[in-house]
Amino acid sequence: MLPELSDHLLQGWPAFFGAEAAPARLDYMGLPGSLEGGTTTFLAFAPGRKVPVFCVKAHRASGAERRAFQEAETLNYLREIGISGVPRGVTHGSIDGTAYIVSTILPGKPMSIVVGPNGIPVAESARMNFQKAFSWLERLHQTSRTHGEIAAPSAADWSLLRREFSDAFPASQAQAGFLDLIGEGLAALREGFLQHGDYCRHNILVSDAEGEGALQVIDWTDSRRSGWPLHDHFFFASTYYLQARRSPGLEGFLRAFEDTFFSEEPYAQIVRAAIRDSASRLGIRSGLLALFGVFLVERALFERRQLLACRERSGLPRFAAYIAVADALAFESAPDSQLWIRFFCEAAEKRKLLIDVGWGN
C-alpha cells in the first residue's frame, strides 16, 4: 500500500506540496497506534532530510474510508476558518482496501508533565499547561462561532445516549440519580462545540514559538463538527497524568481520576477552577456537572464500542485483558467493565463535591 501511495504522491508532488522539490524516493517509519484506536501511523522520510516530510495514518479495519474522509473534512474546515496549529490535510483515499489520510508534520514536542514526589502533578506546572491547553480550545470555539452557529445536541440526542448507556451498563440508584441530574442540566444547552475527540497531552505539541504558534494540535481522527460542550476540556483533564501515574493497574487509574477531580489537594483545585473559568469565558456559567456527566457517558460508550470492535477483529488490548483477569470477567462481559464506566461510577458517587465547588446545575 505505501509503495503505491508513494508513487501517487511523487507523481503529483507539486499539487500536494507546492514548490518544494520532489524527493527521489520515500522511506517510511512505522509508529505504534493504539490497538483500540484502529489506526497505524507512518512518517515519510526523504533522502537527505532530517525530519519527516509528511505523515500517513492508515486505518486497520476495512471500510474505514468515512473516518478518513471525516478527518480530512475537519482539517479543511479548520484551515478555512483560520485556525493555525493544525495539520494540513494533503490527500486521503483508499488503496487495496486500506483507508488513509496524508497530512503535514507539525513542529514541537508533546506537552510534558512534572510529577511531584507524591505522584501527583506539580500544581504550578499543571496550571500553566491547563491554561495553554484551554486557551487553545477557547480560541477554537470563539473562531468557529464567528463562522456559523454549531447546533447544540438536543434532548432527543441525550435520550438516545442515555438509553444506549442504560442498556449497556445497568445503573445503581446513585448512578440513575446522576443520569437524571445530567438530563436536567443539559436542558438549557443552546450551543454545540466542535470536538477534537482525543485532546490529550500526547496530541498537543508545544514549540518554542510565541503566542498562537506555541501549541499545535494533531490527530483529529475522532473529531466531530458538533458535540457536547467542554468534552475536550474534560478529556484533557481526565487524561492529563494517566500515563505518568506511579501506581500501576486499575487502582492507579482510579486514584489518578480521583486525585484530578475529587481531591482537596492543590492540583485538583487547579483543575476544577481551570475548567470552571474556561467554561465561563466560553459563556457556560452553569451545568458543568451535567456536561461532565455526559462526557463520562460518551466516553464509556465510546470505549465499549472500541473494545467490542477490537474483540471482534483481533482481540482485546492488554489493559482490557488485565481487567478481565482482575475481575474474573468472561468473554461476553469484558467490554462492559472497563475504565471509563468506572470513572462514571466514581463521579456518580462523589458528585456532591463538584456541586459544592460550583459545578452544579
Partner 1 sequence: MRLVSTQRASGAGLGARAAAVGWQKAWFEFNVERVRRGEPLAEDDRVADWTLLLSLKNGATSLVIGCEWATAALTLAMRCARLSAVDGSVEKIEFLKIRAAQQNVTNINAVYAPPRMPALFEGGPFDLIVVRDIPEGWPISLSHLIETLRENLKPGGVLSVSVSNTWCPLSGASRSAPGRFPENSMIGCRRQLARAGFDSVQVYGPLPHHWGVSLFHIPLDEPAPIGFFFKSIFPLFNAVSPEVKRGFALELVLAKIAARAAGLPGAARLIKYFLPGYQFIAKLRSQDLNAA
Beta carbon nearer to partner 1, 44 or 150: 44
Cell numbers standing for residue 96: 487495496
CA–CA dist 311, 307 (Å, integer): 6
Burial per residue of 17-29, b for 16 or more beta-carbon CB atoms within 10 angstroms, e otherwise? beeeeebeebebe
**x/- map, 52-91, partner 1, by CB under 8 A:** x-----x-x-x-----------------------------
Q: How far is CA 113 from CA 96, 239, 241, 243, in A?
A: 41, 12, 7, 10
Q: How far is the CB of 36 from partner 1 (least distance, A)?
A: 10
CA–CA dist 200, 98 (Å, integer): 26
CA–CA dist 305, 163 (Å, integer): 15
Beta carbon nearer to partner 1, 122 or 242: 242
Only segment of 92-100, 159-167, 225-233, 297-305 that touches partner 1 (CB under 8 A): 92-100
- Strand segments, DSSP code E, in 155-256 are 193-195, 204-206, 215-217, 224-227
Torsion sign across C-alpha atoms 163, 307, 327, 231: negative
What percentage of the chain's residues is helix, strand, coil (to nearest 5)?
50, 15, 35
Residue among 319, 342, 346, 361 that touches partner 1 (CB under 8 A): 319
Residue 317 binds to partner 1 (criterion: CB under 8 A): yes
Residue among 15, 31, 176, 187 that touches partner 1 (CB under 8 A): 31
Residues 232 and 199 sit within 8 Å (Cβ to Cβ): yes
Only segment of 169-177, 279-287, 325-333, 346-354 that touches partner 1 (CB under 8 A): 325-333
Cell numbers standing for residue 215: 501549541
CA–CA dist 48, 132 (Å, integer): 35
**x/- map, 284-313, partner 1, by CB under 8 A:** --------------------------xxxx
Q: How far is the CB of 52 from partner 1 (least distance, A)?
A: 7
Q: How far is the CB of 304 from partner 1 (least distance, A)?
A: 15
Beta carbon nearer to partner 1, 32 or 148: 32
Beta carbon nearer to partner 1, 101 or 182: 101
Only segment of 76-84, 96-104, 274-282, 343-351 that touches partner 1 (CB under 8 A): 96-104
Residues 222 and 298 sit within 8 Å (Cβ to Cβ): no
Interface with partner 1 (CB under 8 A): 1-4, 27-33, 35, 40, 42-43, 45, 47-52, 58, 60, 62, 96-98, 109-110, 112-113, 201-202, 242-249, 252, 310-319, 321-322, 324-325, 328-334
